[in-house]
Structure 1
Amino acid sequence: MSLMTSRRLNLSVQYACATDGLPLRHQIRSWARTALNIDGMRGGQITIRFVDAEEGQSLNRDYRDKDYATNVLSFPYDITPIVCGDLVICAPVVAREAAEQEKTLEAHYAHLIVHGMLHLQGYDHETGEDDARLMEDKERDILASLGFADPYIDREE
């Protein structure tokens, strides 16, 4: 069975910045695999790259016309027969947000990887309230199955 028809996750993790608290490869694989399987067993060819603020800002500016570093960028290439795409995670933004939201770094990284993996599968929270609710519900389910708290709990109080 080739990768193109398998349920295997071919994951590349790139640490392009020297930042404390980055998740380990086995954690990333677990989070990505769980998010990939939310709608049934699927295979994937995924690269997850951790970057500094300069690279994050450059990519966000070049690909989204937004001149600031954001927490996660998703670059989906294909969703059938397997999910193919890249996630770029800006470590300084994640660290700042985790501190502001009083979350552990691990929980915030898990959330953003799950969030990005859902984008790679075609979910989009920016297309309307119903789509946002669907995506957030899937994120909650995935994160709960991984042992993490609801990442949106403070927004709803």
Structure 2
Amino acid sequence: MINFFYEISNFSITNKSLFIQTIYLILKNEGKEIGNINYIFCNDHYLLNLNKKYLQKDFYTDVIAFAYSSTPPSHKISGDVFISIDRVLENSKQWNQFFQVELKRVMIHAILHFLGYEDQINEKLMKKKEEFYLILFQF
């Protein structure tokens, strides 16, 4: 099951079914099943506090993913994904990208983390997979 929660009042996901379908198809393609994934949309301040508290990092980020399953990932993928809408909007402007595309990118990025990919170890592979799934599941 995929759920959407909002810690900000001025944002909500449109086309929820398309986002959900994309995540299901990615997991199927990677040989996994959906467990329970919660997407929590928030602002920079909210995510900065999480970054400091749980990761001991003092900077803005667009996404933080906390997996419920152990390493290596279990067959069913579950976790909480926190996304700063402020960062996604800023990044979309900086990279001259549509907001929806950038939002989908960070949502996919979190799923890749749940699948065991790490930025520091698999950065190039993660970027390739992000691009692959963005192109494959355009809307």
- Quickly name the TM-score band, shorter chain normalised: 0.7 to 0.9
1:121 positional shift: 1.3
> Residue 89 of structure 1: CA displacement?
0.2
Amino acid at match of 1:145: L
SS at match of 1:94: helix
AA paired with 1:42? E
Unaligned runs of 5+ in 1: 1-9, 149-157
Instruction: Indicate conservation of the 8 Å contact 2:3/2:37, yes or no.
Output: yes
Q: Are 2:98 and 1:123 equivalent residues in the alignment?
A: no
Task: Give the residue type in structure 1 aligned to 2:98.
Answer: T
Larger radius of gyration: 1
1:109 maps to 2:100:
no
Contact 1:23 1:106 in 2 (8 A): no
Post-superposition offset of 1:43:
2.5
> What are the equivalent positions in structure 2 for 1:49-128 lying under 5 Å apart?
49-78=40-69, 79-127=73-121
Contact map agreement 2:92 2:98 (CA 8 A) in 1: yes
What percent identity do the matched residue pairs reach? 22
- The CA RMSD over aligned residues, in Å, is 1.7
Report SS of the residue matched to 2:74.
coil
Q: Separation in 1 of the partners of 2:88 and 2:35?
A: 24
Unmatched tracts of structure 2, length 5 or more:
none
Question: Does the 8 A contact of 2:108 with 2:130 survive in 1?
Answer: yes
Give, in whole Å, the separation in 2 of the partners of 1:41 and 1:95.
30
Task: Decide which of 23, 35, 41 is 2:13's aligned counterpart.
Answer: 23
- How far did 1:119 drift? 0.4
1:126 is paired with a residue whose SS is helix
C-alpha contact (below 8 Å) 2:32/2:75 kept by paired residues: no
Q: Tell me: CA distance 1:58–1:95, structure 2 relative to 1, closer, same or farther (3 Å).
A: same
| 1:60 Cα deviation after fit | 0.8
- Displacement of 1:41: 4.7
Residues 34 and 142, structure 1, Cα contact 8 Å, conserved in 2: no
* Higher mean C-alpha displacement, 30-39 vs 92-101: 30-39
Q: CA deviation at 1:94?
A: 0.7
Is the counterpart of residue 46 in structure 1 residue 37 in structure 2? yes
Question: Structure 1 runs of 4+ off > 4 angstroms?
Answer: none
